[in-house]
Amino acid sequence: MLIANAVLADGTKRHIDVKEGRIAALLPTTADLSARDDVLDVAGALLLPPLVDGHIHLDKTLLGLPWVPNEAKGNKVADRIAAERKVRAGRTVPESETGSNLVRQVVASGTLHMRSHVDIDNQLGLKNLHEVLKIRERFRDLVTIQIVAFPQSGIVRSPGTAELLDAAIAEGADLVGGLDPVGIDGDLDGHLDAVFGIAERRGVGVDIHLHDGGEGGIAQLLAIAERTIASGMKGRVAVSHAFALGSVDADTATRTADVLAKAGVAIMSHGPGGAAIPPLALLRERGVEVFGGSDNIRDAWSPFGSGDMLERAMMIGYRANFRHDRELQLAFEMVTIAASRVLRIKGYGIALGAAADFVVVEAGSVAEAVATRPRRKLVIKGGKVVAKDGVFAA
């Protein structure tokens, strides 16, 4: 396959020769193609690397089911955990099916790599992990699904969960997760002992949900950074949400950013609607890896979300008050190259020898693509078209 007349993110125009699922050549558009009978002419459309969702919950979504109204009694994380238990108890369709619906939808929008948190607690056991492992197996040739064993009900306050997290890693989860060590679990050291203990023992990375805001949240971020250095896990730890960074003064945010950068702790933001957004441009400027994710999509937590990471980049940019092209570029990098670094995706990007994975859209620039979120003309995986005009075709 040869993709002709593609415009790359930097504005250069290239023909892309694909062999055995990899980029075999990036040719000037003056190159003679008359001898080729496998040309796909994209006629000046923008060709982007595949989108990367750094935070999704494949086991939570209710996508494809008739509308399920949100029934949470209050507005706290604990209220939503309780509401989700009810929805889960009423499920008649397994998580592997609704999660598969979501995978097909996100592939159609250009996402080929994702990190999915998967609920694990002492009621559920490893059930949701098993469901998501089925999804991963089903789509193994199409998408990367990295699994975080996520203690949605806490660890210390939910006896037996630490052992389950450990067992989850043994059964195929890639990282160990965490959740508000103070706000939910009420025991900072106990929570981090468990999380980092498993991570060190199993040699896996860490990704901790941290909703706790203000100085309390900052203290937890600093503790996570300290643990990261102590356990030699620089570059393998992420904190998702980290609303605290958006709720403190700029000096505190900057000092904390410097600590996170030094420890190699990455920050995931989905551009929260009802909470403070971390100062993404500042974090990046101070050397912190920031990346994007969908978070909840049509589940017991949120009625919103589509899994479209160009839309997510727009939401992140909108919430971060981004307006300039360089800012929209940052939002785009959060859902592409930066997320690929955090997820350690090999062979990512538009470069010689990289995987022939592409998203093709009608847009004049990356900034325009983020702002307008055009329909994906083509999604290509390993040189094969897997979605066309927004419709899954794999």
Task: Reduce the DSSP state of residue 2 to 3 states and report it.
Answer: strand
The residue among 87 and 261 lying less far from a second copy, judged by its C-beta, is 87
Shortest reach from residue 285's CB to a second copy, in Å: 15
Shortest reach from residue 387's CB to a second copy, in Å: 17
Distance between CA atoms of residues 28 and 6, nearest Å: 10
Shortest reach from residue 75's CB to a second copy, in Å: 7
Are 172 and 131 spatial neighbours (Cβ–Cβ below 8 Å)?
no
Cβ count within 10 A of residue 69: 7
The residue among 178 and 317 lying less far from a second copy, judged by its C-beta, is 317
Task: Reduce the DSSP state of residue 63 to 3 states and report it.
Answer: coil
Shortest reach from residue 250's CB to a second copy, in Å: 13
The residue among 158 and 302 lying less far from a second copy, judged by its C-beta, is 302
Q: For residue 53, which of 96, 130, 105, 10 has the smallest C-alpha distance? A: 105
Shortest reach from residue 153's CB to a second copy, in Å: 20
Q: For residue 113, which of 292, 327, 236 has the smallest C-alpha distance? A: 292
Question: By the criterion CB under 8 A, which residues form the site for a second copy?
Answer: 66-67, 69-72, 75, 273-275, 298, 301-304, 306, 314-315, 317-321, 323-325, 328, 364-365, 367-368, 370-372
Distance between CA atoms of residues 156 and 138, nearest Å: 34
Write the DSSP assignment of 202-259 as a string of letters.
HT-EEEEEE---HHHHHHHHHHHHHHHHHTT-TTSEEEEE-GGGGSS-HHHHHHHHHH
The residue among 196 and 243 lying less far from a second copy, judged by its C-beta, is 243
The residue among 273 and 287 lying less far from a second copy, judged by its C-beta, is 273
Shortest reach from residue 325's CB to a second copy, in Å: 5
Burial code of 113-127, b = ≥16 C-beta within 10 A, e = fewer?
A: bbbbbbbbbbebebb
Write the DSSP assignment of 294-356 as a string of letters.
-B--SSSS-S-----HHHHHHHHHHHTT--SHHHHHHHHHHTTHHHHHHTT-TT-SSSTTSB-
Shortest reach from residue 302's CB to a second copy, in Å: 6
The residue among 153 and 302 lying less far from a second copy, judged by its C-beta, is 302
Task: Reduce the DSSP state of residue 13 to 3 states and report it.
Answer: strand
Q: Rounded to the nearest 5°, which phi and psi values hold at 88?
A: -65, -40
Q: Which residues make beta-bridge pairs with 148?
A: 117, 175
Interior CA angle at 173 toward 169 and 174, to 5°?
Answer: 100
The residue among 314 and 330 lying less far from a second copy, judged by its C-beta, is 314
The residue among 130 and 388 lying less far from a second copy, judged by its C-beta, is 388
Shortest reach from residue 373's CB to a second copy, in Å: 8
Are 116 and 148 spatial neighbours (Cβ–Cβ below 8 Å)?
yes
Shortest reach from residue 329's CB to a second copy, in Å: 11
Shortest reach from residue 273's CB to a second copy, in Å: 4
Q: Rounded to the nearest 5°, which phi and psi values hold at 228?
A: -60, -45
The residue among 147 and 360 lying less far from a second copy, judged by its C-beta, is 360
The residue among 81 and 199 lying less far from a second copy, judged by its C-beta, is 81
Tokens standing for 375?
Answer: 């329909």
